[in-house]
Amino acid sequence: MEQQTVEMITQMVLETIGRMEERSNGYQVPVGVSARHIHLTQEHVETLFGEGYHLTKKKDLMGGQYACNETVTVVGLKLRAIENVRVLGPVRKASQLEISATDTMKLGVAAPVRESGNIAGSAPVAVVGPKGVIYLKEGCIIAMRHIHMSPADAAAAGVHDGDIVSVRADNERGTVFNQVKIRVNDSFTLEMHIDTDEANASKIKTGDRVTIIR
């Protein structure tokens, strides 16, 4: 057997062993802390920012999304407001505000924990822009913690799209997160998303790594 073939087989065996060890010890994932933000329809963009207005990009995010230069003020049922809420693009079919549990107390809204896009029966909120105001009868949620993965990442971790896993943070707080949803897409970069409340309570910051322990 030629030396090159032997080296290729050896490399394949080592990679397979590495993947097996990684699965048994837990698969590590970097964290992205997600601050409050809002997704808007084009109709609502124009109501808030003016007729014919289009969102402008500030920073690219994964999956074709991007942070916009535009911000809005959100107002809850108790007429308490949170200013400078970042708009994320591109526009969507339904407007959706994602906030933390602490934000819900400030706004006086009963936002449920939901996967992004599942807004039926969620909390109402008003949104104020420089040119107008909209009232969402539903659309305010606390985003369910989740992990973005490419198909290759999912295969390496031994998980599938839609799986629910537990994740451990091995720091001084020693936090375990349950009910973490796996989301798999070719456009995704490996990252677990938690909100600011979860990050502060567990002393985790963007870039820290956690381990899938399912």
Residue 62 binned pLDDT confidence (cut-offs 50, 70, 90): confident
* pLDDT tens-digit readout, 100-130: 999 999 999 999 999 999 999 999 999 999 9
**Contact 80/106 with Cβ under 8 angstroms?**
yes
* pLDDT of residue 65 exceeding 70: yes
For the ranges 5-14, 113-122, 165-174, which has the lowest average pLDDT? 5-14
May I ask the CATH architecture of the domain 26-33+145-212? Beta Barrel (2.40)
Q: What is the pTM of this model?
A: 0.83
User: What pLDDT, on the 0 to 100 scale, is given for residue 202?
Assistant: 97
Asked if pLDDT for residue 188 goes beyond 70, the answer is yes
Average pLDDT over residues 193-212: 97
- How is 112-157 classified by DSSP, letter by letter? PEE-TT--TT-EEEEEE-SS-EEEEEEEEEEEPPEEEE-HHHHHHH
Give residue limits of the domains in the chain.
26-33+145-212, 36-143
